């Protein structure tokens, strides 16, 4: 089985099949990421498509300065960020009209819906927003988050701490 590096190098030499292999390999990861961000399956698929279109353009000049995994997470996060910015007002204004997601558990312990949490997370400052987004949706370690967002592990922890404190406050106020 070829490594990511080999596939990217093949793609850089003009093989679209190598790129398709990368898509097959990482589609689940990317789609799962966006499923946690939006309840709309079509939107999650569109966002995944956007990520791979960006990759198709960017990988031609990829210089292997970071792991492909890390790079992919960065593209995911940036795409999600753009999505949140685009839908910021919609999320804030239509929170009460959010559609039934199909993923929401019915147990008593689950007090919030995804849209509600994201609508709160998007109100955080950028760094806090990114760290909180990656931690709560992907359960990544602070070390990985630091690598992906180009910050130290300590900085990721501090941003997370402040971010989650604010989310707690905002969610608490909504209840």
Partner 1 sequence: MNFEEKLQKTFSGTSEMLDSEQFINNLTSARYAQALKRSQAISGYLALIVVLFVGILGFNELDQGAILMDGSYYYSTSIDYDQNEGSEYFDDLALYIMEQEDSEYFDDLALYIMEQEEDIWMAFSFLDELEYDKIVNLMEEES
For partner 1, the binding residues (CB under 8 A) are 20, 23-24, 27-28, 31-32, 35-36, 41, 45, 48-49, 52-53, 56, 103-105, 109-114, 117, 135-137, 139, 164, 167-168
Q: Give least dist CB 71 to partner 1, A.
A: 18
Closest to partner 1 by CB, 66 vs 170, is 170
Count of all residues that appear for the chain in the document: 175
Q: Are 160 and 135 in contact (CB under 8 A)?
A: yes
Q: Give least dist CB 9 to partner 1, A.
A: 20
Closest CA to 78 of 86, 29, 112: 86
Q: Give least dist CB 3 to partner 1, A.
A: 19
Other beta carbons less than 10 A from residue 158's beta carbon: 16
Closest to partner 1 by CB, 3 vs 172, is 172
The sign one gets for the Cα dihedral 129, 56, 33, 22 is negative
Q: Are 108 and 117 in contact (CB under 8 A)?
A: no
Closest to partner 1 by CB, 46 vs 153, is 46
């Amino acid at each position: 089985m070829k490594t990511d590096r080999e596939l990217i190098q093949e793609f850089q030499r003009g093989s679209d099949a190598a790129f398709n292999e990368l898509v097959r390999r990482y589609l689940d990861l990317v789609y799962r990421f966006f499923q946690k961000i939006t309840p709309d399956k079509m939107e999650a698929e569109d966002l995944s498509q956007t990520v791979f279109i960006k990759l198709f353009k960017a990988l031609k000049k990829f210089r292997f300065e970071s792991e492909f995994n890390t790079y992919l997470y960065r593209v995911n996060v940036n795409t999600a960020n753009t999505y949140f910015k685009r839908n910021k007002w919609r999320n804030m204004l239509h929170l009460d009209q959010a559609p039934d997601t199909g993923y929401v558990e019915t147990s008593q312990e689950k007090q919030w819906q995804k849209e509600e949490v994201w609508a709160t997370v998007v109100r955080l400052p950028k760094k806090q927003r990114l760290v909180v987004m990656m931690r709560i949706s992907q359960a990544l370690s602070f070390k990985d988050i630091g690598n992906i967002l180009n910050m130290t592990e300590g900085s990721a922890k501090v941003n997370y701490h402040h971010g989650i404190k604010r989310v707690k406050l905002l969610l608490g106020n909504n209840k």
